[in-house]
Homo-oligomer: A and B are copies of this chain.
């Protein structure tokens, strides 16, 4: 049984999220997703959708076996609990794979780090990402 962990903010769901999670699920037998809490999203604008609603929506997606909220102080706590064999990063997630590997080792967590594939070009072109959905709403619905 190969257990895979994926993680992200998953603010307003779009096909890029589904592609990432399907790719992650295909790496093993059981996919757990860690959904970042709003308080821990510091590298971009905080999500629009509340923590528990984002967790619930990720859990409703076909590739996902279980969705968990992240730990507010220590990102490694849910990983220690889930004990994954593989951590699947999104192709564009800004993590330094080697640094992450070292941090996991230091915590005694032994798992592979892999990258999901990007969406194919045609799908990426027509994708309305969370950011583009928000921009469109601001453009069309604001007075």
Could you list which residues of chain A lie within 8 angstroms of chain B, going by C-beta atoms? Answer: 12-15, 18, 45, 48-50, 52-53, 56-57, 60-62, 126-128, 133-134, 136-138, 140-142
Contacts and interface: CB of A to CB of B under 8 A. Distances in A.
Contacts of A53: 14-15, 126-128
A49 to B, nearest CB: 6
Contact of A60 (B52, B61, B140): B61
Contact of A138 (B126, B128, B142): B142
Copies per complex?
A: 2
B57 A15 contact: yes
Contacts of A57: 13-15, 18
A60 B137 contact: no
B18 A56 contact: yes
A49 B127 CA distance: 10
Closest 9 CB pairs of A and B: A142-B142, A18-B60, A137-B137, A15-B56, A138-B142, A138-B141, A134-B137, A48-B136, A60-B61
A128 B137 CA distance: 16
